[in-house]
């Protein structure tokens, strides 16, 4: 399973890329708004920091508007993927964009029937929002699991991105569910890294080394 970073914060992306663990980035209008920067400028900068897909979302609600915005976003950099919400207009736009060779990440997906529609319309990626489904008392990871199993069974080309990830256990569950990608906030990436026994172990090794009078390298 590949890891994408779910943020529009360039400093966090630089840091995560330096760890060698990030294969792409997803943004959404909320994440971009939080940065207070020009949308196109920030997407161009992010696309230059990672070699993999960078998702940028359309704002239009009608299919023609979505396609027009998508063409502009896709023109910002070769690795930009256009995020389109799953609505009637979103499906129409996805069909058109797929025919034009513009990759779509179908977003705001909360159910398996929505996954099937996204895949059939030609979305390159589909993003079930695990945490938000959990929030309403349902099993968000079940959507990911069923999505992967159906897409694999029928040989559909769509890749499943486990999105709305809230903690490291979600990432592990997404991997077990067979998700192609999990997109994680930087905070979750840090939580995945840290373990108290690692910190204690480093401290003890250093103390033992110094007590034995060993010199550094
Ligand atoms: C997905 O691509 C979205 O940007 C994101 O995962 C939404 O997560 P949230 O539910 O934490 O806002």
pLDDT(23) > 70: yes
What's the burial of 47, exposed, middle or buried (CB within 10 Å: 0-12/13-18/19+)?
buried
Backbone angles phi, psi at 83, to 5 degrees: -90, 130
Enter the pTM of the model: 0.96
Structure-derived torsion over alpha carbons of residues 94, 100, 102, 104, reported in degrees to the nearest 10: 10
CB of 105 shorter than 6 A to ligand 1: no
Whole-angstrom Cα distance, residue 56 to residue 150? 26
Q: Which two tokens stand for residue 170?
A: 């979600």
Rounded Cα distance, 178 and 70, in Å: 29
Answer for the pair 29, 213: CB distance below 8 angstroms, yes or no. Answer: no
Residues that are catalytic: 83
The predicted-structure confidence for 109-118, as pLDDT tens digits, reads as follows: 999 999 999 9
pLDDT in tens, 136-194: 999 999 999 999 999 999 999 999 999 999 999 999 999 999 999 999 999 999 999 99
Look at residue 217 in the predicted model and tell me its pLDDT: 62
Across the range 31-57, mean pLDDT stands at 97
Coil, helix or strand at residue 168? helix
How many angstroms separate the CA atoms of 57 and 204, rounded?
A: 48
Q: Which pLDDT score is estimated for 129? A: 98
Match 């059939």 to its residue by tokens: 120
Beta strands in 122-190 (DSSP E): 125-128, 159-162, 181-184
Residue 215 has pLDDT above 80, yes or no: no
Is the CB of residue 164 below 6 angstroms from any atom belonging to ligand 1? yes
Mean pLDDT of the chain: 97
Neighbour-count burial of 49, counting CB atoms closer than 10 A to its CB (0-12 exposed, 13-18 middle, 19+ buried):
middle
Confidence of residue 213 (pLDDT cuts 50, 70, 90): confident
pLDDT > 90 fraction of the chain, expressed in percent and rounded: 98
The class (CATH top level) of 2-215 is alpha beta
Residue length of the chain: 217
Cα 77 to Cα 80: distance, rounded to the nearest angstrom: 6
- Specify which residues 83 forms β-bridges with: 57, 105
Q: Report pLDDT for 33.
A: 98
Question: Residue 28: CB within 6 Å of ligand 1?
Answer: yes
Write down the pLDDT at residue 98.
98
Contact between 106 and 138 (Cβ < 8 Å): no
Name the residue with the closest Cα to ligand 1, atom 8: 164
Candidate from 7, 28, 54, 82 with most ligand 1 atoms within 8 A of CB, to mutate: 28
Q: What is the pLDDT of residue 134?
A: 96
């Amino acid at each position: 399973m590949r890891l994408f970073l779910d943020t529009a914060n360039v400093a966090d992306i630089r840091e995560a890329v330096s760890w060698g663990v990030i294969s792409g980035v997803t943004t959404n209008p909320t994440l971009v708004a939080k940065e207070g920067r020009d949308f196109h400028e920030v997407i161009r900068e992010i696309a230059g920091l990672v070699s993999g897909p960078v998702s940028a979302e359309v704002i239009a609600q009608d299919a023609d508007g979505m396609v027009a915005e998508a063409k502009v976003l896709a023109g910002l950099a070769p690795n930009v993927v256009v995020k389109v919400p799953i609505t009637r207009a979103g499906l129409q736009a996805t069909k058109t964009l797929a025919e034009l060779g513009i990759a779509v990440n179908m977003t705001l997906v909360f159910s398996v029937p929505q996954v099937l529609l996204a895949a059939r319309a030609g979305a390159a990626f589909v993003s079930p929002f695990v945490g938000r489904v959990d929030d309403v008392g349902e099993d968000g990871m079940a959507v990911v699991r069923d999505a992967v199993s159906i897409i694999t069974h029928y040989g559909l080309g769509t890749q499943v991105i486990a999105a709305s990830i809230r903690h490291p256990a979600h990432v592990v569950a997404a991997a077990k569910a067979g998700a192609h990608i999990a997109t994680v906030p930087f905070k979750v990436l840090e939580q995945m890294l840290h373990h108290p026994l690692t910190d204690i172990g480093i401290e003890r090794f250093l103390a033992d080394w110094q007590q034995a009078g060993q010199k550094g390298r």
